[in-house]
Amino acid sequence: MHSSLGMTEFVPAEDMDENTEYITTGSADLNRILGGGIATGKLTEVFRPFKSGKTNLAHTIAVTVQLPQNKGGLFFL
């Protein structure tokens, strides 16, 4: 897909690179829908109506990214 403002690429979750690392969302169902969680190095846009939990999801991801890799985060020693 191309846009008039520049190059835009849409990659469905099922077509993601096998080497992509994922950050857990804290929800097994949402991780499954996203193909494993929030993909690193990719843009994930969340849009929903007012008061639907977008900020709560962002706060959860801000915490879970700090977890060890074996628990779904990116932190490693």
**77 in any annotated domain:** no
pLDDT for residue 50 is more than 80:
yes
Please list the residues that pair with 57 across neighbouring strands. Answer: none
Total domains in the chain come to 1
Better pLDDT: 39 or 11:
39
Band of residue 32 on the pLDDT scale cut at 50, 70, 90: very high
Confidence band (pLDDT; 50, 70, 90) for 43? Answer: confident
Domain-embedded: residue 66: yes
Higher pLDDT, 36 or 72: 36
Neighbours of 42 (CB within 10 A): 13
pLDDT at 7: 56
Does 76 fall in a domain? no
Which residue stretches of the chain are H helix? 28-33, 54-64
Give this prediction's pTM. Answer: 0.66
| Segments forming the whole domain that contains residue 55 | 2-71
